[in-house]
């Protein structure tokens, strides 16, 4: 009886330390991530920075403090319970020691930064002056393009990435499946073929974009090859500047029938030629990666399924639609979700090849966030940029959730 | 890991006593592979040949396949590029290699430590930490990179390599991959070590790490490639010419050399070739890594 009391007492002090440590670390991280003026000048002395924090970041710090206290309470309770047992105590301490680098870095550079960004998205902030709370104005401004066509940047960027996602994800997923099925057989010289097939997806997007910018030139190989092929059937191909052509897909179809779409109705024009050129280039780099995933999944399908099917007289096409596709469903879901997340965040290609042009037909939310946050076009508008980023994050979250619902509902059948 | 992928791919088809139709099918199949390979590799071949062409030839229409005269001078010009403030080509190559090796190495160490605790230990809060890790993987990169710029200015890390190294020492995806791998290692060995009085760190170092070498190499290769190909982060955080990495330098190249696409292509080739060689040597690990995250994730 006496011993048990002693044991429980021996756990109390470490528990208190745990609580203090967690609150302290959280507050230090929060302090650095507090919404104040940025830049080395604000950090010239600790006192100067602290007064900045007191001035503009107090609600933020208090909120983090409360969160940390709750977390600290549960941690302290766990420590108290494990402390009396030497084995459990050791595992607890070593476990967190092993996790410490991960947890500290993630809390600072992911959680802290995200909370900061969320707070900043409700303020007007240019890094060098203190943030000023303006409520939902940044979000309202993002969607003002719905009524005011002059400020349509963000709406247009969303329109662009939606086209991009629909086309890129569907084409890359089906191509990857097709290639995987074709290649899912024993192969000689596989080292050689592998290197060649996957070359586009291991090299950097910058390299691929530069090469394609050159291929897409008016005097480039794409026009040359098209002219040659169309020349064979007697059609004359006038070379176009692929990355500089703002004509939209639907617009081209309408034009072909002798109609036209006025520039006020930009949202009816569909993805521009420039934008589709970037889509093509992106598909070229992502297909091999996803093909590898499908190949690995195909290896997991039991060959007896196919044997049974062929005994029952199923032909190759039936086997593909009745066995292969249903068995690949989980991987298709994964590839579609990963592809969507990637497609909605397209940036490198736009930054290098088109800078959002021509006529804003290749603007993307991340590109806008980048230019607004660093003041590449006009003043630095960090608050507005963060509002855009969060809107995009919510859209990504909702779309992937819907995809999961749709594709997972399908699997219940099997 | 996916040894099944390897096994089935390695076994060569038996060709003894097959009918002629088999050989025809086989030939058609390899022709198809060659065709796909050609489509995939053509841009690289064209760019490589283009890097030897003259200024006039590179944008001439109609384009010729082979350069009229192989101009090795292009490669020398690019190697001697100097945009001032210490921005030279060898310097960028060094920066890129240094950052990629450092990041990949640190990630292997810190991610394997975290993965060990997820795979092999049981302590309160572990499941919560694991769920937390999985959910951080969902957060789009750009949403945190751009606001992190402000944090970097406060920590005075802007324009130092620390701005890439410090947040980059861990990576949720790698921890996940290693956790899954560590779970497949049988526990018998470490139980023996436990009885001999070994601690967790000793077991991690002497039992798990040697057995997990293929997985560690996979993570190293994937992370090296990821760091080498990274663009947005170095573009945001490193902004004087002596700190540029190849990718960022290349984007400036294109403005620097205006219409001299031959020189830009040399830069692109220098960036691509090391990765392609690395991939050629380690393609097995690379493919295992991609396939593993796909199938098991």
The structural domains of chain B, with segments of one domain joined by +, span 10-77, 79-296
Kindly state the helix (H) or strand (E) to which residue A223 belongs, with its residue range: helix A221-232
- Same domain as A191, residue A114: no
Give yes or no for B46 touching A (CB within 8 A).
yes
For B190-209, the pLDDT digits (tens) are 888 888 888 888 889 988 99
Which of B43, B144, B155 is the closest to A212 by Cβ?
B43
Distance from CA of B84 to the nearest CA of A (A): 22
Structural domain containing residue A247: 144-411
**Chain B residues touching residue A339 (CB < 8 angstroms):** none
The secondary element (H helix, E strand) that includes residue A133 is strand A132-133
Q: What is the mean pLDDT of residues B61-67?
A: 84
Based on the domain organization, do A104 and A160 belong to the same domain?
no
Q: Do A368 and A405 belong to one domain?
A: yes
Q: Is residue A400 scored above 80 in pLDDT? A: yes
What is the rounded CA–CA span in Å between residue A71 and residue A76? 9
The CATH code of the domain that includes A344 is 1.10.3720.10
Angle at A263 between CA A257 and CA A269, to 5 degrees: 50
Residue A186 shares a structural domain with residue A291? yes
> What confidence tier does B153 reach under pLDDT thresholds 50, 70, 90?
confident
Instruction: Report helix, strand or coil for A301.
Output: coil
Does the CB of B295 have a partner CB in chain A at under 8 Å?
A: yes
> What ipTM was reported for this prediction?
0.86
pLDDT at B2 over 80: no
Is residue A180 located within the same domain as residue A242? yes
Instruction: Supply φ then ψ for residue A356, to 5 degrees.
Output: 90, -20
How does pLDDT run across A197-254, given as a tens digit for each residue? 888 888 999 999 999 999 998 888 999 999 989 989 888 888 888 888 888 888 888 8
Asked if the B79-296 domain carries CATH number 1.10.3720.10, the reply is yes
Say yes or no: A116 and A186 in one domain.
no
- Give Dmax over CA atoms of chain B in angstroms: 76
Q: Is the CB of B124 inside 8 Å of chain A's CB atoms?
A: yes
Does any CB of chain A come closer than 8 Å to the CB of residue B55?
no
Query: Chain-wide mean pLDDT for chain A?
Result: 86
H or E element that contains A124: strand A123-124
A120, A153, A183 — which closes off a domain? A120
Residue B88 pairs with which residues in a beta bridge? B82
Measured CA to CA, the distance from residue A243 to residue B185 in angstroms comes to 51
A124: which strand partners?
Answer: A132
| Residues A200 and A316 grouped into a single domain | yes
The residues pairing with A132 across neighbouring beta strands, listed in sequence order, are A124
């Amino acid at each position: 009886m006496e011993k048990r009391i002693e044991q429980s007492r021996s756990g109390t002090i470490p528990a208190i330390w745990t609580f203090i440590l967690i609150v302290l670390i959280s507050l230090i991280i929060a302090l650095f991530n507090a919404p104040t003026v940025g830049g080395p000048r604000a950090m010239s002395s600790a006192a100067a920075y602290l007064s900045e924090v007191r001035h503009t970041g107090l609600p933020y710090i208090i909120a983090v403090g409360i969160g940390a206290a709750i977390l600290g309470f549960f941690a302290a309770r766990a420590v108290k319970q494990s402390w009396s047992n030497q084995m459990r105590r050791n595992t607890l301490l070593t476990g967190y020691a092993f996790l410490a680098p991960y947890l500290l870095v993630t809390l600072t550079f992911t959680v802290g930064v995200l909370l900061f960004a969320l707070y900043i998205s409700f303020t007007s902030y240019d890094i060098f002056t203190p943030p000023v709370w303006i409520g939902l104005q940044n979000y309202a401004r993002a969607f003002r393009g719905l009524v005011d066509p002059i400020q349509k940047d963000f709406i247009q960027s969303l329109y662009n990435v939606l086209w991009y996602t629909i086309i890129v994800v569907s084409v890359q997923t089906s191509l990857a499946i097709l290639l995987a099925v074709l290649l899912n057989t024993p192969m000689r010289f596989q080292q050689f073929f592998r290197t060649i097939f996957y070359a586009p997806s291991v090299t950097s997007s910058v390299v691929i974009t530069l090469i394609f910018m050159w291929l897409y030139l008016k005097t480039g190989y794409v026009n040359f090859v098209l002219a040659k092929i169309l020349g064979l059937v007697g059609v004359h191909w006038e070379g176009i500047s692929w990355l500089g052509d703002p004509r939209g897909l639907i617009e081209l179809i309408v034009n072909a029938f002798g109609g036209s779409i006025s520039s006020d109705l930009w949202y009816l024009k569909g993805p521009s030629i420039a934008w589709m050129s970037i889509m093509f280039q992106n598909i070229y780099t992502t297909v091999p990666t996803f093909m590898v995933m499908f190949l690995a999944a195909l290896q997991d399908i039991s060959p007896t399924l196919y044997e049974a099917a062929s005994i029952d007289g199923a032909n190759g096409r039936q086997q593909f639609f009745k066995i292969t596709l249903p068995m690949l469903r989980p991987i298709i879901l994964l590839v579609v979700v990963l592809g969507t997340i990637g497609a909605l965040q397209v940036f490198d290609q736009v930054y290098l090849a088109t800078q959002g042009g021509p006529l804003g037909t290749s603007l993307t939310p991340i590109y806008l966030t980048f230019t607004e946050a660093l003041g590449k076009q006009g003043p630095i508008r960090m608050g507005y940029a963060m509002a855009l980023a969060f809107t995009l994050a919510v859209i990504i979250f909702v779309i992937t959730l819907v995809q999961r619902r749709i594709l997972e509902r399908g699997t219940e059948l099997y | 890991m996916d040894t099944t992928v390897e096994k089935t791919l390695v076994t060569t088809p038996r060709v003894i006593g097959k009918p002629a139709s088999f050989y025809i099918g086989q030939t058609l199949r390899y022709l198809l592979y060659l065709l796909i390979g050609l489509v995939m590799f053509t841009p690289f071949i064209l760019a490589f040949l283009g890097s030897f062409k003259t200024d006039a030839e590179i944008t001439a229409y109609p384009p010729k396949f082979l350069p009229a005269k192989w101009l090795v001078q292009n490669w020398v010009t690019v190697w001697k590029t100097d945009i001032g403030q210490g921005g030279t080509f060898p310097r960028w190559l060094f920066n890129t290699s240094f950052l990629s090796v450092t990041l990949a190495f640190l990630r292997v160490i810190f991610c394997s430590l975290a993965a060990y605790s997820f795979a092999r230990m049981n302590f309160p809060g572990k499941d919560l930490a694991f769920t937390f890790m999985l959910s951080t993987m969902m957060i789009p990169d750009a949403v945190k990179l751009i606001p992190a710029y402000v944090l970097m200015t406060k920590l005075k890390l802007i324009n130092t390599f620390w701005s890439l190294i410090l947040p980059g020492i861990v990576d949720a995806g790698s921890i996940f991959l290693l956790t899954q791998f560590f779970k497949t290692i049988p526990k018998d060995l470490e139980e023996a070590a436990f009885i001999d009085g070994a601690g967790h760190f000793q077991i991690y170092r002497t039992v798990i790490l040697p057995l997990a070498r293929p997985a560690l190499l996979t993570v190293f290769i994937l992370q090296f490639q990821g760091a080498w190909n990274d663009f947005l982060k170095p573009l945001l955080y490193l902004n004087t010419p002596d700190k540029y990495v190849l990718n960022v330098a290349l984007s400036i190249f294109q403005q620097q050399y205006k219409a001299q696409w031959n020189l830009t292509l040399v830069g692109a080739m220098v960036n691509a070739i090391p990765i392609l060689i690395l991939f050629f040597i380690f393609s097995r690990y690379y493919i295992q890594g991609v396939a593993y995250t796909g199938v098991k994730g």
